[in-house]
Amino acid sequence: MKIQNYINGQFVNPINNDWVDNYCPADGEIYGQLPNSSLEDVEKAYNAAETAFKEWSQKPIEERSRILIKISELLEVNLDRFAEAESKDNGKPISLAKAIDIPRASSNFRFFGNAITQFSSESHESIGLDAVNYTLRQSIGVVGCISPWNLPLYLFTWKIAPAIATGNCVVAKPSEVTPMTAFLLGEICTEAGLPNGVLNIVHGLGNLTGQAIIEHPNIKAISFTGGTSTGAQIAKVAAPMFKKLSLELGGKNPNIIFADCDYDDMLSTTVRSSFANQGQICLCGSRIFVEKSIYKKFKSDFVEKVKALKIGHPSNSDTDIGALVSKPHLEKVKSYINITKDEGGTILCGGKQVTIDGYENGYYFEPTIIEVPNNECRLNQEEIFGPIVTIMPLDNEDHALQMANDIKYGLSATIWTNNLKRTMRMSSKLQAGIVWVNTWMLRDLRTPFGGVKASGVGREGGFEALRFFTETKNVCIKY
Ligand SMILES: NC(=O)c1ccc[n+]([C@@H]2O[C@H](COP(=O)([O-])OP(=O)(O)OC[C@H]3O[C@@H](n4cnc5c(N)ncnc54)[C@H](O)[C@@H]3O)[C@@H](O)[C@H]2O)c1
Ligand SMILES: O=C/C=C/C=C(\O)C(=O)O
């Protein structure tokens, strides 16, 4: 099966006929190929977008909104097909793709289709100066969207929907590791009546296709989600060209548990926040800090629950833990097990690759809990992005805050407590873009989403995304 680029509403092969293999993580087999698009393909996509921009940017808001909502509806109609494709391409359990990934991709289009009808700009009456200022928020032109492999269609559409809602045209690149649902999206966009050239999808490797997008002199804004070092590389290229940049990067998020929390709710949510999507969510709570008085109990209950998780083929409806996304990623995860001893850590459960009958070459790994002696070790400081969490006791609120913040990342944090004052104090002091209290991954798409420190720059979500994808101009009129 050959995936093609979607340029100017047409499915086309890469100009240089260069292809990359696409692997199925559940069995390690190559099951297709995708274009490794070059500068010429990106140029072609850019030209299509540039041509489409004139009409699309002037299309009445209601018409744009209708098309976005139509795309949302078609994703709902095609839920099973998309969920199966996502699960096969990524290794995630089919149940997760059906309940989270594809519904959320659909919601992204519905949400921004509605949000654009409510978007407005400011005016400032300059009293005493006989003037009025009004602000325009205009489409930028052609923008670039680049996304990672962990939540493929979910994160791809989270960028594309606000970009096109605001009248821009897009050159988008999904991860080369998980290109399939982005490929299928092209069909749906055409069926929904999205004019040719408004969305162009080019596939390929980051250092070729991705690099061509970020270096393009006329792609004026880049919305990127992915690793911190890739984000730094993108900033290096884009900043001297004065491009607008939104960077959603890595995380190593604290999950802080106090004795006064609702224990059962905390325990079941912590299993999810540790291992959902095989721990490959930038928001996973991978450093767990537990108040001393309940540490022992938590440790044994948590281990028991995690041992009960079912590792299996992603297409089985009762699988909790599917396959990791790729062989190199599996090797990376394993490398952290190899350093556990040197770091003074103790594996409480998991720690091993798993072989599944009939799928011996799949990339399966046990959900793993490691007790660590301090927060300074590499297991606590480096983003593993897989099914490994660490646990450590905490003394008090200050100790928890100190450990939570003593890291280069700052994406999200979770606190489990029923103490209101402590919640307020800690929420204000945690160095993170998102704080969840007594919950995890509860998403309201109107809220600002993003990280601080090495976790990124800028915010997605709601009007923040619509502001990012528009250029602001103030007009001052004297009367
Ligand atoms: N903050 C967030 O919202 C968020 C969400 C999901 C994933 N992530 C992070 O993403 C990482 C895992 O994803 P990944 O391995 O796909 O990340 P990655 O940085 O390797 O790749 C992300 C995307 O960037 C492209 N890319 C790579 N090099 C490029 C270059 N030089 N120029 C332009 N594009 C380039 C890739 O092809 C891919 O499409 C983790 O670090 C994770 O924390 C962050
Ligand atoms: O792995 C990263 C998860 C990102 C999630 C979102 O961007 C979101 O929920 O909007």
Below-50 pLDDT ranges, the chain: none
Q: Which two tokens stand for residue 376?
A: 């300074």
The per-residue pLDDT for 459 is 98
Q: Which helix (H) or strand (E) holds 469?
A: none
Q: 155 CA distance to ligand 2 centroid (A)?
A: 7
Whether residue 282 sits in one domain with residue 213? no
The per-residue pLDDT for 246 is 98
Whether residue 281 sits in one domain with residue 203? no
Residue to substitute in 225, 245, 252, 385 for testing ligand 1 pocket (most ligand atoms within 8 angstroms of CB): 225
Whether 109 is in the pocket of ligand 2, judged by its Cβ within 6 Å, is no
Whether residue 380 sits in one domain with residue 411? yes
The per-residue pLDDT for 365 is 98
Catalytic residues: 248
Whether residue 279 sits in one domain with residue 228? no
Q: Give the per-residue SS3 of 256-295.
A: EECCCCCHHHHHHHHHHHHHHHHHCCCCCCCEEEEEHHHH
Residue 30 domain-assigned? Answer: yes
ipTM of the complex: 0.95
- pTM of the full predicted structure? 0.98
Whether residue 137 sits in one domain with residue 86? yes
Whether residue 379 sits in one domain with residue 326? yes
Whether 451 is in the pocket of ligand 1, judged by its Cβ within 6 Å, is yes
CATH of the domain at 15: 3.40.605.10
* Tally of domains in the chain: 2
**Residue nearest atom 39 in ligand 1 by C-alpha distance:** 175
Whether residue 215 sits in one domain with residue 342? no
Whether residue 277 sits in one domain with residue 226? no
Whether residue 274 sits in one domain with residue 235? no
Provide the domain limits for residue 79: 5-249+455-478
Residue to substitute in 104, 247, 283 for testing ligand 2 pocket (most ligand atoms within 8 angstroms of CB): 283
Name the DSSP class of 100. I
Whether residue 288 sits in one domain with residue 140? no
Atom of ligand 2 nearest to the CA of 151: 1
Residue 352 domain-assigned? Answer: yes
Atom of ligand 1 nearest to the CA of 460: 3
The per-residue pLDDT for 217 is 98
CA–CA separation, 433 and 81 (whole Å): 34
Residue 450 domain-assigned? Answer: no
CATH of the domain at 429: 3.40.309.10
Whether residue 405 sits in one domain with residue 376? yes
The per-residue pLDDT for 316 is 98
Whether residue 316 sits in one domain with residue 436? yes
Name the DSSP class of 460. B
3-state class of 147 per DSSP? coil
Contact predicate 135/123, CB 8 Å: yes
